[in-house]
Structure 1
Amino acid sequence: MKTILVIDSDPVTANLTEKFLKNYGYEVEVTSEGKDALDRLNRPRFDLVLSDTQLQGLAGFDILKIMKKCFINTPFVFLTADDDEVTRMEAEALGAARLISKRKEYINLPHILDQLFFSSREMVA
């Protein structure tokens, strides 16, 4: 079973995402703060981080930058309403595995994550 850390400061979105992914067989932990997320990432038990770009305190981009500096290689995916081209380019430049639009792609979230896990497994094989 894959374990996902969801980081979203909106409690409604965080709760909905947690339930949605659990229904698809993922193990999910949720936090609303970047500092708490980084503390949790010090223990390597997550297969993927799913974060909004806009958070209170540390933004999603900041979390990804710190992870890179600390050699935390957990795949990072943005789930955000900020799906403009500039945000997409910044996510790609920082090495995010994907940027998923809350407005356009949320309903397909479990399938998108399945594809990401499948493609990363193919690269290892």
Structure 2
Amino acid sequence: MKKEILVVDDQPGIRLLLQEIFTNQGYRVTTAKTGKEALDELNKSSYDLIMLDYKLPVVDGVEVIQQLERDKIEVPAILMSGLAEDIMKESQNYDMVKKVLAKPFNVKDVCDYTKSLIG
């Protein structure tokens, strides 16, 4: 069975890029534009990994992580941000956050890290 990844980013270009990369790697990919859409998806389906932008409209990435932890929904998350240094320390408070990626990111690094995390 294919592993499932939820890609959450308000920038269409990043969503499409990650969707194409992960689909080509053999994963099933669902996308969301906002944190609220992400939470809706996570409440109706289970995922093996979330690629989550830190700054999102409506509900931001950290609020998504906090809500998932409150609801006891455990799924590894990779947090993406243009301000990666600023969120490194904050992300250490959450067990779900396995990696913080700076934007722009290296596609090969994303593929390698994803593979090491979920196979």
Task: Tell me how far apart the structure 2 counterparts of residues 18 and 80 of structure 1 sit (CA, whole Å).
Answer: 17
The aligned counterpart of 1:94 is: 94
The aligned counterpart of 1:121 is: none
Q: Cα distance, 1:42 vs. partner?
A: 1.1
The aligned counterpart of 2:11 is: 10
The aligned counterpart of 1:33 is: 34
Task: Tell me how far apart the structure 2 counterparts of residues 41 and 24 of structure 1 sit (CA, whole Å).
Answer: 22
Task: Tell me how far apart the structure 1 counterparts of residues 59 and 42 of structure 2 sit (CA, whole Å).
Answer: 14
Tell me if structure 2 keeps the 8 A contact 1:47–1:75: yes
Deviations 1:13-64 (A, max 9, x none): 1111111111111110001011111111113421111101011111101100
Tell me if structure 2 keeps the 8 A contact 1:75–1:97: yes
The aligned counterpart of 1:60 is: 61
5+ unaligned residues in a row in structure 2: which ranges?
none
5+ unaligned residues in a row in structure 1: which ranges?
119-125
Question: How does the TM-score come out when normalised to structure 1?
Answer: 0.86
Instruction: Report 1:108-123 matches (<5 A).
Output: 108-118=109-119
Structure 1 residues 104 and 48: alpha-carbon distance in aligned structure 2, compared to 1, 3 A threshold = closer
Structure 1 residues 69 and 48: alpha-carbon distance in aligned structure 2, compared to 1, 3 A threshold = same
Structure 1 residues 115 and 80: alpha-carbon distance in aligned structure 2, compared to 1, 3 A threshold = same
Task: Tell me how far apart the structure 1 counterparts of residues 42 and 29 of structure 2 sit (CA, whole Å).
Answer: 13
Amino acid across the alignment from 2:57: Q
The aligned counterpart of 2:73 is: 72
Residue 23 of structure 2 is aligned to residue 22 of structure 1: yes
Number of equivalenced pairs: 117
* Secondary structure, counterpart of 2:50 in structure 1: strand
Q: Give identity over the alignment, percent.
A: 24
Task: Tell me how far apart the structure 1 counterparts of residues 7 and 87 of structure 2 sit (CA, whole Å).
Answer: 19
Amino acid across the alignment from 1:90: E
Structure 1 runs (4+) deviating above 3 angstroms are 104-107
Residue 46 of structure 2 is aligned to residue 45 of structure 1: yes
